[in-house]
Structure 1
Amino acid sequence: MYSPYKSKGGFSRLLSALRYSIQGLIIAVKHEAAFRQELILAVVLTPVALWISENVFEAVLLIGSLLFVLIIELLNSALEAVADTITIDHHPMIGRAKDLGSAAVLLSLTMASLIWIGVILA
């Protein structure tokens, strides 16, 4: 079934996608405290990554791990927004979905920490 909300393609689709992406980042900064905290951490640690890296691969690995945390946080926030649209009442399956999203954020933070420790100690 074709969705009337899907664009047909072309350059205008790319511009619309970019506009929606920027809009999503603005919404995350405005409304998601965890995203703001992780964004500040990424902004502070990016120059550190460039300073401590011995080569381009290490820099990409360190900065990539920070971006990965932000990506997972955005997905978790999107999941929570959809869940809260369905109901704000306690529901075991919605609670499970939110807990799984939170676990994904925790694992991404753990992975980023391990990468940073590994590069620093190497």
Structure 2
Amino acid sequence: MTKNGTKGFSRLINATRFTFKGLIAAWKNEEAFRLEVLGLLCILPLAIWLASSYLQFALLLGSGLVVVIVELINSAIEAVVDRIGEERHELSGRAKDMGSAAVFLALILTAIIWIAVVFDRFSG
């Protein structure tokens, strides 16, 4: 049993509701999240065309999803830091910078995967 007393199927329903609530909040409040989701949707047809196997398609799509996932985590960190207070603090800045760095590294990973698949596809 969880803190709020739900268990089993009720807990699953609540968790799903909270998940969609989080996705909607990110869509409404986070421009970077919207841009990354739209970017993912735009590259989806290219991934379908470019991939020569299901594994390649999973890598292309999965790397894009990793960016969106890390952006959600970064947005959550920023929301918590902003909730704590408006004053500037070294640790708050560090937390936000690290979240941003994580998104950047996810984007680099995505670029590496896409470049590798392109080279594999057109190298012979």
Measured against the shorter chain, the TM-score band is over 0.9
When the two chains are superposed, the root-mean-square deviation of aligned CA atoms in Å is 1.4
Say which of 80, 84, 87 aligns to 2:85: 87
**Match status 1:16 vs 2:14:** yes
- Output the TM-score relative to the length of structure 2: 0.92
Q: C-alpha distance in 1, partners of 2:89/2:21?
A: 30
Q: Name the SS for the 2:86 alignment partner.
A: coil
Pairwise CA distance, 1:103: 0.3
- Output the TM-score relative to the length of structure 1: 0.94
Pairwise CA distance, 1:46: 1.2
**Percentage of identical aligned residues:** 45
Q: Which residue of 2 aligns with 1:97?
A: 95
Which runs of structure 2 are paired with 1:1-122 in the superposition (5 Å)?
A: 4-5=3-4, 7-122=5-120
Size of the aligned set, in residue pairs, is 120
